[in-house]
Amino acid sequence: MTRKASTGMEHEQHDTTGKGRKKHDAKHTIFSSTLATRSIEMSSCSILGDEAMTINTNSHSVLQDVTEASTEASQSSVGSSSRQSSFSKRGRDSSSRSLSMIRLSHKESFKNANVEALTANKLRFSSLGVFGLDKETGILKDCLERLVMAGEDATDSTTETGEGDVRASARELVFISGVSGTGKTTLAKTMASQTKLHKGLYITGKFDFYLRDEPYSGFVAACRELCGEILMLRNDTSTEAKCQEICDEIMSELGDEISLLTNIFPVLGEILDIDYASAPADNSSDDAYGKEGINYAFRKFLRVVSTHFKPLVIVLDDLQWADAASFELLETLITDRENPQIMVIGCYRSNEVDDAHFLSKIMRDLHEKKENDGFRITEICVGNLDVHSFNQIIIELLSVDSDDSSIDLAEICHKRTLGNAFHFMAFLSMLEQEGMLEFNLGLFQWIWDISEIEEETAAAANVVDLMKNKMKKQTGGVLNLLQLASCLGSSFDEKILFVTWEGLGKTRRLGSWTGSSDEDEDEKVRSRDGLKQVLGQAIDEAFLEAHGESHYRWVHDKVQEAAMSLDAEEKMQEIQSDIGEILLRELSKTELRAAIFVVANLLNAKEASDPAKRTKVAEINLDAAEKAKDLSAFESAAKYGGKGIGLLPADRWTSQKELSLKMYSICAEAHYIIGNVAETQKYCDEVLHQDEIPILDKMRVYHCVLMTMSNGGRAPEALQLSLDILSQLKCKFPRTRASQMAKAIYWLSKTKLPSKDEIAELSLMTDPTHKACMQLMINAAYNAHHCGNSFAMILIITCTVQWTMKYGIDLNSPAAFAILGFIKLESKSIESKVTSLVYFMVAPWAKSLQSTLPYLLQGYKVGMETVNSFSCGKSLKALEADCKTYCAQMRELSQDEILYCTLPFWQGILNLMHGSENPLILSGDAIEHEDAFIAKSFMCSFYGNHELGAKLALERGDAYLKKNGSVLVMSDFFHQGISLFAMSRKTKKRKYIKRANKINETMKSWAKKGNPNVNHCIMFLGAEKAALNGKHKEATLLYSQAISTASRTGFQQDAALGSERFGEFLLYDLDDKERAIYQLKDAIRLYSNWGALYKADTLRKKHSSLWSNELPESVEWS
Q: What is the pLDDT of residues 86-106, one digit of tens each?
A: 333 333 343 333 333 333 333
What are the CB-based long-range contacts (under 8 Å, 24+) for 822-825? 822/965, 823/748, 823/794, 823/797, 824/753, 825/1009
Q: Judge whether 383 and 178 are in contact, CB under 8 Å.
A: yes
Q: Judge whether 276 and 258 are in contact, CB under 8 Å.
A: yes
pLDDT of residue 1035: 93
Flag whether pLDDT at 782 surpasses 80. yes
pLDDT confidence tier of residue 154, bands split at 50, 70 and 90: low
Comparing CA positions, the residue from 457, 463, 381, 455 lying closest to residue 420 is 463
Question: How far is it, in rounded angstroms, from Cα 851 to Cα 849?
Answer: 5
Beta strands in 234-381, from DSSP E residues, in sequence order: 312-317, 342-349, 375-381
Question: How far is it, in rounded angstroms, from Cα 882 to Cα 893?
Answer: 16
Q: Render 918-967 in DSSP notation, one character per residue.
A: STT---SGGGGSHHHHHHHHHHHHHHT-HHHHHHHHHHHTTHHHHH--SH
Task: Give the global pTM.
Answer: 0.57
Q: Judge whether 975 and 937 are in contact, CB under 8 Å.
A: yes
Question: How far is it, in rounded angstroms, from Cα 221 to Cα 205?
Answer: 5
Q: What is the pLDDT of residues 190-246, one digit of tens each?
A: 999 999 998 899 999 999 887 777 888 889 889 988 988 888 888 888 888 889 999
Strand 445-449 versus strand 437-440 pairing type: antiparallel
Question: How many Cβ atoms from other residues are within 10 Å of residue 962's Cβ?
Answer: 11
Comparing CA positions, the residue from 478, 495, 599 lying closest to residue 549 is 495
- The mean per-residue pLDDT over the stretch 111-136 comes to 67
Flag whether pLDDT at 993 surpasses 90. yes
pLDDT of residue 423: 84
Residues above pLDDT 90, as percent of the chain: 26
Q: Judge whether 556 and 349 are in contact, CB under 8 Å.
A: no
Flag whether pLDDT at 253 surpasses 50. yes
Q: Judge whether 553 and 218 are in contact, CB under 8 Å.
A: no
Question: How far is it, in rounded angstroms, from Cα 572 to Cα 568?
Answer: 6
Flag whether pLDDT at 959 surpasses 70. no
| Phi/psi at 63 (5° precision) | -60, -40
Comparing CA positions, the residue from 438, 659, 464, 446 lying closest to residue 556 is 464
Question: How far is it, in rounded angstroms, from Cα 403 to Cα 395?
Answer: 7
| Averaged pLDDT score across all residues of the chain | 77
| Phi/psi at 492 (5° precision) | -160, 160
Flag whether pLDDT at 888 surpasses 80. no
Q: Judge whether 535 and 529 are in contact, CB under 8 Å.
A: no
Amino acid at 1090: W
Amino acid at 654: T
Non-local CB neighbours of 179 within 8 Å, separated by 6+ positions: 349, 350, 351, 384, 420
Q: Judge whether 271 and 244 are in contact, CB under 8 Å.
A: no
pLDDT of residue 871: 65
Flag whether pLDDT at 284 surpasses 60. no
Torsion sign (Cα): 932, 936, 937, 941: positive
CA distances from 122 to 45, 86, 100 (A): 15, 22, 18
911-916-919 Cα angle (round to 5): 55
Q: Where are the alpha helices (DSSP H) in 842-895?
A: 853-856, 861-872, 876-892
Torsion sign (Cα): 463, 466, 471, 474: negative
Flag whether pLDDT at 25 surpasses 90. no
Question: How far is it, in rounded angstroms, from Cα 17 to Cα 158?
Answer: 83
Q: Judge whether 541 and 470 are in contact, CB under 8 Å.
A: yes
Strand 171-178 versus strand 342-349 pairing type: parallel
Question: How far is it, in rounded angstroms, from Cα 2 to Cα 4?
Answer: 7
Question: How far is it, in rounded angstroms, from Cα 899 to Cα 863?
Answer: 7
Q: To 10 degrees, the CA torsion angle through 759, 762, 765, 769?
A: -80
Question: How many Cβ atoms from other residues are within 10 Å of residue 1109's Cβ?
Answer: 5
Question: How far is it, in rounded angstroms, from Cα 652 to Cα 659?
Answer: 8
Q: To 10 degrees, the CA torsion angle through 608, 611, 612, 617?
A: 40
The angle that helices 677-688 and 657-674 make with each other, rounded to 10 degrees, is 150
Q: Judge whether 191 and 315 are in contact, CB under 8 Å.
A: yes
Rg of the chain in Å (alpha carbons): 36
Q: Judge whether 710 and 718 are in contact, CB under 8 Å.
A: yes
More confident call, 350 vs 835: 350
Q: Render 675-735 in DSSP notation, one character per residue.
A: T-HHHHHHHHHHHHT-TTS-GGGGHHHHHHHHHHHHHTT-HHHHHHHHHHHHHHTT-----
Flag whether pLDDT at 60 surpasses 70. no
pLDDT of residue 431: 87
pLDDT of residue 687: 94
Edge-first strand order for the sheet with 445-449 is: 28-29, 445-449, 437-440
Non-local CB neighbours of 1027 within 8 Å, separated by 6+ positions: 981, 985, 1035, 1065, 1069
Burial of 528 (0-12, 13-18, 19+ CB in 10 A): exposed
pLDDT confidence tier of residue 508, bands split at 50, 70 and 90: low
Comparing CA positions, the residue from 369, 332, 308, 340 lying closest to residue 165 is 340
Q: How many CA atoms lie within 13 A of 412 on its CB side?
A: 22
Q: Where are the alpha helices (DSSP H) in 255-286?
A: 258-262, 267-272
Question: How far is it, in rounded angstroms, from Cα 408 to Cα 216?
Answer: 46
Question: How far is it, in rounded angstroms, from Cα 224 to Cα 220?
Answer: 6
- The mean per-residue pLDDT over the stretch 437-464 comes to 79
Flag whether pLDDT at 803 surpasses 90. yes
Comparing CA positions, the residue from 995, 1088, 981, 990 lying closest to residue 1042 is 981
CA 1019 to chain centre: 42
81-87-93 Cα angle (round to 5): 115
Question: How far is it, in rounded angstroms, from Cα 27 to Cα 798?
Answer: 92
Edge-first strand order for the sheet with 312-317 is: 201-206, 312-317, 342-349, 171-178, 375-381
Q: Is the peptide bond before 768 cis (omega within 30 degrees of 0)?
A: no
Q: Judge whether 82 and 58 are in contact, CB under 8 Å.
A: no
Counting every residue written for the chain, the total comes to 1118
Q: What is the pLDDT of residues 519-568, one digit of tens each?
A: 666 677 777 788 888 888 888 888 888 877 778 888 887 888 888 888 88
Q: Judge whether 1098 and 939 are in contact, CB under 8 Å.
A: no
Q: Which helix (H) or strand (E) holds 440?
A: strand 437-440
Residues above pLDDT 70, as percent of the chain: 74
| Phi/psi at 817 (5° precision) | -60, -40
pLDDT confidence tier of residue 964, bands split at 50, 70 and 90: low
| Phi/psi at 1035 (5° precision) | -65, -45
pLDDT confidence tier of residue 791, bands split at 50, 70 and 90: confident
Q: Judge whether 280 and 827 are in contact, CB under 8 Å.
A: no
Torsion sign (Cα): 249, 253, 256, 259: negative
Flag whether pLDDT at 122 surpasses 80. no
